[in-house]
Structure 1
Amino acid sequence: MAEEEKAPETARKGSNLYIGFAAPERLGVPEPASKVLHYEAGGESFDYEAAAAHLPVYTNDGRVLAKMFSLTFVKLEDGKQDEKRPVTFCYNGGPGCASVPVDFGGMGPFRVATDGVEHLSYPIEAEQNPWSLLRLSDLVFLDAPGTGFSAVAEDADPKKLFGIDGDADAFCRAIMEWLDSHARWGSPVYLFGESYGTVRNSVLMRVLGEHDVKVAGVTMLSSIFDWVQTQPGEDLYYLGMMPTYAATAQYFGKAGQDTDVDTWFDQAMAWNEDVLAPALLKGDRLGSEKEAEVASQMSGFIGLPAEQIQRAHLRIGLDEFRRSIIADEGKVCGRLDMRFSSPAPLASQDSAEWFAGEDAADDAVESSWVTAFRRFLSQTLGYRNPAVYLNSNYEGVGTSWNWDHAEPGTMETVHAPNVSYDIAVALKRNPHMKVAFLGGRYDAATTYWNTVHDVSCLYLPEDLKERVEFHRYGCGHMAYVDVPTLEALFEDMRAFYAKK
C-alpha cells in the first residue's frame, strides 16, 4: 500500500485555497480537489494541504488563453497556511513535458523509490519523501500549456504560447493568478526548473520582475542557456560533452580507475579548456601530428581508441559515444543519465533520430512516476479528469516550438537564443535574488561544462557573483533518481533557502 493512502487525511472540496478561482464550468475543467495530509519524514512532522486545480492564464483584458494544471502542497499550522512562507513554483522542460518527474521523482512530498541504475518494476508505490522541498517551502507544480492536463483555450492561438517568450509570459500570468487566488503576495517567490525549465526560468525571472513580482531565488537543475551549442558542428557542443564522456568512461571502468571521481572530472574540465578547446579552434591548421597527440590524450580520458577520435577530428558525437563505450558488452549507455544501459539495438535499427530517443535512463523510471502520480490524484485527492494526461507531448508542443527570443539589451530577436543574458539582467535589476545551478557529471542532455561556461561569460560583478552558486553531483539529468545526490541536493537547498 502506498504511503499516501496511510496518511491521515480530511476531505476538503472547495477549499479556501481557491478564493478568486474562475468558475470551473466556464473553463471546462473538473472541480478542484484537495485534502489535508500528514507529512512525517526526515525528522519532521506537519499537516499540509494537497490540491489539484487549474489556473486560468488571462490576457490583459481578461480573456482566458489557457488552463494550466497545478498540484499545490501548502504546509499548515493550526489548520492555516503561513502567508509569509516561501512558495516555490516547479516545472520540467521539454519543451512539451509535464512536471511529474520533478514532483514524484524527488521534490514533492511523495517519491517513487528508485533502485540505483536498475529499471523499476511492480509494485509501484510512492513513499513519504524525507528530502522533499516541502520542508523548506510551499510547492506548486505547474504543467505547461499543451502538457499534462493543461490545455490551450479553443479561441487562443497556440503560437502565442508554444515558444520561449510566450511560454514565459504564460507562466508569469499563472504565477500571479496563484498568488492572487491564494492571498500569498507576501510570500518570497522561488522558481525551480529542470532542463528546458531552466530556459523558462531564465526568461521568467526577468519577466516576473517586469510585472513587479520580486523573485527571491531561482534553482536551475540540469541547465541549458546558449542554444548555439545545439547547432550542427558547433564546437561548444563537443567541449560540453568531453568531461561528461570522461566521467562515463570512468564509471564503466574504461578510464580513470585510480582517480577520485571529482578529481577526475576536474582534470577533464581543465584539459578540455586548456588543450581540446584551442585544438578545435585551429581546425586543420592543427596538423595531423598534433591532432594525433591530442587524440591520444583524449583517449585516455574518454576510453575510446585514439584512431577513432582522430578520424572524427577530435569531435565525438553523442550517438557515437553511446554506441561505442560499452559495445564490447553488447550494450549502449543512456543519454539523460549515462550510467544507465540497455542492450544495443539491432543492426537494422540504424535510424539516428530513433536512437537519440531511446534512453534507458528514461525507460527505467518515467512510467512509474506517472503511475504513482495518477494514483495519488484519483485515490488520495479524489480528482478525476476525463482528458488524457500528456506527460510528454513533444510532438504536439516541441515540434512547433518558436525558438525566437527577444534578447534583452540588444533590441533584436534571435533564432538561436542565449537566455543567460536574461539571468544577468534579472540579477542586476534585483541584486537580492539568488541563483543555484545544479548539475550532474553523467548528464549528456544538458552538460555541466556548458553551464559553467555560459555563466562565466556574463562577467558578473563580484557582489552578484556572491548571489550565484554551483553544485555538481554524481548523477545524470534527473538528479533525484540518485539517492546520495538527492540527500546532498536537499542539504544544499536548505542552505540556499536560508541564505539572506
Structure 2
Amino acid sequence: MSRKLITVLLVFSFSFGISASEHLRQLEIDSSNTTKHSTKINGKKVSYSATTGTQPVWDKEGHPTASLFYTYYQRTDIKDNSTRPLLISFNGGPGSASVWMHVAYTGPRVLNVDNEGFPLQPYGVKTNPYSILDVADIVFVNPVNTGYSRVLPNKEGKMPSKEQQKKMFFGVNADIKYLADWVNTFVSRTNRWRSPKYLIGESYGTTRVSGLALELQNRQWMYLNGVILVSPTDIGIDRKGPVKAANRLPYFAAAAWYHNALASELQSKDLLELLPEVEGFTINEYIPALAKGGFINAEEKQAIATKVAHYSGLSIDEVLGSNLDIATSYFWKALLRNRKQTIGRLDSRYLGIDKKTVGERPDYNSELTSWLHSFTPAINYYLREELDYVTDIKYNMFGPVHPWDRTNNKTGENLRQAMAQNPYLNVMIQAGYYDGATNYFDAKYTMWQLDPSGLMKERLSFKGYRSGHMMYLRHDDLRDANQDIRAFMKATLPSKDKAAKY
C-alpha cells in the first residue's frame, strides 16, 4: 500500500470520528461480567455464578494506580452466606498469574490432562468433581502485571517509572500492602464481611498470604479463620548453611524412589515408610556432620557420604566430590544420567532429555514446559469462551515484576503474630514429596520453626502428597488435597458458642 493511500485512509477515518485512541489495547479499569453455571461435586449438583472483572487499586489521594483482574465463584443456591467461607486465592512467582490453582485445583473446572497430570489434546478444561465450591466461595486474584492485571498511567497520564512501580507494587511488603487494600474493597463490594475468611497461596504466594494475614488483621481489621500454604517458600524463616543442604535429602530419596533408582532394600519399602527413616538420619546425623565443615574427620565423612549416597541414588564419589553438600540442580541432571534423562525441578516425576549427558544442570525444566502445554491454551479459552470475558490484552502467565524487592521479609513472623493475636486462626501446609524447588521437608521445617514456643502447634498441620509442586495435577492428589481443605475448613469453623479467647 502506498504512503499516499495510507494518508487518505487516515484522513477518512478521523473525518468519520474513528480515532486511534479507540483502538488502544487498554484494560477496563473497573468492570464485571457474570455468567451462570452448574456442576457436580462429589456426585451432587451445585449451581454457581462466575464473575470475571477488574477492580482498581487506589493511592492515598484516591487516584487509581493499577487494576487487578479477578474471577469470583459464588454458589447461588445458598440464601445466607454469613457462615459460608470465602477463600481468597493467590499464586506465586513473584510474577505468576492465578491460573495454576484456578484451573487445576480448587475451581469448578480443571485442565484436560491425564491422571498423572500430563497434557492431552484437545487443550481445554473439564469438570472438577472435587472442587471445594460446594463448601466455600472462591476468588482468584491476579497481582499487578499478572493475568490481565496492569499498572495504570498516573493522574498526569504518564506511566510511573520502573523504580516507582517497584516501590508501589514489586516487593515483599509493597505487594502485601496494596493487596490488603484490594481485598478490603472486594469484601465490601461483595458483602462478605460476616463470612469466615481463608487465604490460600502457592509457592511465593505463601510469602504473600503469610504477610497478608497480619496486614489484613492490623491494618484492615479483617480477621481470618485459616491460611493454607501450598508448596511454601521459606516465608522469611532462615534455613541457610547445613540445614539448607541437609534438608534436601528426604526429597532426593523420594525422587530416587519414584524412579526406582535406590537399592532394592529401599525400593521394597513404601514411600511413606522410607521417608521417616531418611528424615531421622537428616536431623540426627546429616545436619551435625555438615555443621563440622572441613573439620569433620575422614572416617565420619566417609560414613555420612555412604548413607547419603544410599538414600539419594547418587554415587559415594559424587557425594564426597560435593563435600556432602549436593546441589539440587546437579541431582536433577545426575540421578538418571545413565538412562540419558533428566528429572524435573518443580515435579521430579517429569523427564527431560538434554543435548549432552555431561554437565551440572539440565538444559530446561521438563515439568514447566509440560505444564505450559496445558495451562496457556486452557486459561485463554476458558475465560474467553466459557466465562465470556473478551479482551485483546495478553494474559500474562508470568508478568514483568522484576527486580523484586525481597528485603525485610518477616512474613513468617507476621503469620506467627497474627496467629497469636487471633485464637481462631489456623494454618495448614500442603506439599508434594517430589517437589525439588520448595521441598516438602523444608516445608515441615518451616512449620516447626514458625512458632518456637510450641504453644500454637495444635493449630499447625502438614499434608503431603505423592506428586510435586502442583500436587493437584495428579488425579488422586486433586481429590485428596481438596478434601483436606474441606476438612481444614470444617475443623476451623467455630461453633456459635466458641469465643475467640485463650
- Out of 390, 394, 404, which is 2:407 matched to? 404
Aligned AA (1:447): N
**TM-superposed deviation, 1:121:** 3.1
Q: Residue 198 in 1 paired to residue 197 in 2?
A: no
- Out of 237, 244, 248, which is 1:237 matched to? 244
Pairing 1:147-226 to 2, within 5 Å after superposition: 147-155=146-154, 156=160, 157-159=164-166, 160-210=168-218, 211-226=220-235
- The SS at the match of 1:205 is helix
- The SS at the match of 1:185 is coil
Distance of 1:27 and 1:110 partners within structure 2: 25
Counterpart residue number, 1:480: 472
Distance of 1:199 and 1:458 partners within structure 2: 13
Pairing 1:41-440 to 2, within 5 Å after superposition: 41-77=41-77, 82-117=81-116, 119-155=118-154, 156=160, 157-159=164-166, 160-210=168-218, 211-227=220-236, 234-255=241-262, 256-346=266-356, 355=362, 358-393=364-399, 396-397=400-401, 399-405=402-408, 417-440=409-432
CA contact (8 A) 1:222 1:446 kept: yes
Counterpart residue number, 2:499: none
- The SS at the match of 1:316 is coil
Q: Deviations over 1:71-99 (max 9, x none)?
A: 11010127x67344211111110001001
Distance of 2:423 and 2:243 partners within structure 1: 30
Structure-2 change in CA distance of 1:83 and 1:375 (3 Å): farther
Distance of 2:289 and 2:311 partners within structure 1: 16
TM-score, normalization: structure 2?
A: 0.86
Distance of 2:341 and 2:283 partners within structure 1: 31
- The SS at the match of 1:50 is strand
Distance of 2:307 and 2:372 partners within structure 1: 37
- The SS at the match of 1:391 is coil
**TM-superposed deviation, 1:461:** 4.8
Distance of 2:372 and 2:129 partners within structure 1: 21
Aligned AA (1:105): A
CA contact (8 A) 1:240 1:448 kept: no
Matched residue pairs, number?
455
- Cα RMSD of the aligned pairs, angstroms, is 2.2
Counterpart residue number, 1:32: 32
Distance of 2:40 and 2:450 partners within structure 1: 42
**TM-superposed deviation, 1:429:** 1.0
CA contact (8 A) 1:203 1:419 kept: yes
**TM-superposed deviation, 1:150:** 0.6
Aligned AA (1:88): L
Q: Say which one has the larger Rg.
A: 2
CA contact (8 A) 2:237 2:446 kept: no
Distance of 1:81 and 1:56 partners within structure 2: 28
Distance of 1:429 and 1:302 partners within structure 2: 42
Structure 1 unaligned residues grouped into runs of 5+: 1-24, 406-416
Distance of 2:450 and 2:189 partners within structure 1: 37
Structure-2 change in CA distance of 1:422 and 1:485 (3 Å): same
Distance of 1:351 and 1:452 partners within structure 2: 28
Counterpart residue number, 2:21: none
Q: Deviations over 1:189-226 (max 9, x none)?
A: 11010000000011010100012011111100000125
Distance of 1:293 and 1:216 partners within structure 2: 47
TM-score, normalization: structure 1?
A: 0.86
